[in-house]
Amino acid sequence: MAEQKTKPTRQSVEAFIEKLPSEQTRDDCHTLIGLMSKVTGEPPKMWGPSIIGFGSYHYKYASGHEGDTCLVGFSPRKAAISLYIMSDGPERTAFLKKLGKHKAAKACVHVKKLSDIDMKVLEDMVKSAVKSLLISTH
């Protein structure tokens, strides 16, 4: 089986953020770190070269593929900030309807800037995802 590419590194989260070209993106990253640290009780860690993640859990698919990944995380990309919040079903749909300006993909939500979204909805979404992952893995 192939080795998992996205895993925790020793790279400094702060050094990664300081290299970002936009002050707005750096500020948004610090806001997300505050929110996700508060919800998870975990410090931020770099997962691979560009994902800031919080906590971890082990997953195993029916196919037999398994690995470890962060409970929640985000990555400031050129076009948008990708939020990695693993939740699905009707609850996710309800959160997304109230979130604000975003683009949803299967495993993440993309936002241009945090001022485009409702931060309380995001916090509730993160809480729900963390709770559901911790219940399903224990």
Confidence of residue 5 (pLDDT cuts 50, 70, 90): low
User: Can you give the residue ranges of every domain in the chain?
Assistant: 13-136
Which distant-in-sequence residues (6+ apart) come within 8 Å of 38 by Cβ?
A: none
Radius of gyration of the chain (CA): 15
Q: How far apart are CA 64 and CA 47, in angstroms?
A: 22
Q: How far apart are CA 73 and CA 58, in angstroms?
A: 15
Q: For 13-136, CATH number?
A: 3.90.1150.200
pLDDT tens digits, residue range 109-123?
A: 999 999 999 999 999
Q: Reply yes or no on whether the pLDDT at 25 is more than 80.
A: yes
Confidence of residue 1 (pLDDT cuts 50, 70, 90): very low
pLDDT tens digits, residue range 28-52?
A: 999 999 999 999 999 999 999 999 9
**Average pLDDT, integer, range 53-78:** 89
**Average pLDDT, integer, range 68-90:** 90
Range from 10-19, 83-92, 95-104, 124-133 carrying the lowest mean pLDDT: 83-92
Average pLDDT, the chain: 91
The model carries a pTM of 0.90
Q: Which pLDDT score is estimated for 3? A: 55
